[in-house]
Amino acid sequence: MGPRRRRQVFTHSSWAPRREASYERLEFLGDSVLGLVVSEELMRRHPSVDEGDLSWMRQAVVARDPCAAAADAAGLPEALVAAAPPARAETARELASQATVRAALAEAVIGAAWLDLGADATRAAVLDAFASAIDVAAPGTRDPKTTLQEEAARMRIEVAYELTDTQGPPQRRVFTSRVRVGGTVMGEGTGPSKQSSEQAAAAQALAARPWSAAPC
């Protein structure tokens, strides 16, 4: 990654001289590249899985938390703080602590890699950075919310969803929801719609499954 591109990757809109000089355009590209690479890999790994399951499996991999984890592993939050103007150091530290910002940094780096390094190198880097999340994603049901509701009903446990955050411009809105199972938060997910964020949260709760699914 060249110095000019690196500077853009670690420029937040709050201190960018112009909005388009921030990492947001690279984030836009990186989001699409990440989705493409993960979609291709899931199709390769699961040749008999239908579109419904593939869609929510992809959403689980490209959601905010896996992206933020990839950013943390690569040291991107620290790089954002280091690149900030001295007068913005405190703001940068606050931003670097937010999962949404860390996830955006991961996508911005992916976008920059696509432009500077090309498709093959970017694909290899993405598959390495998201290997754990891809490994965890497994076919089961195309509708995690329905599955969670059915299991909770058998256990006579209440399931409730809560929208906790909405960010981004209208055309690229990102929703965050959490799900409570029996009053305890068991999952959180993000998505381009409230419904998709709830599906991602339900998928996370199902992956944990601390309850017994056996009928009473």
**From the candidates 24, 31, 41, 65, which is the catalytic residue?**
31
For 34, residues 6+ apart whose C-beta sits below 8 A from its C-beta are 62, 67, 107, 110, 126, 130
Respond yes or no: is residue 31 known to be catalytic.
yes
Which of 41, 65, 107, 151 does the annotation list as catalytic?
Answer: 107
C-alpha 201/C-alpha 165 separation (Å) is 13
CA distance 25 to 168: 13
**Calpha distance 171→60 (Å, rounded):** 21
How are beta strands 184-191 and 159-167 bridged, if at all? unpaired
Note if 65 is an active site residue. no
Catalytic residues: 31, 107
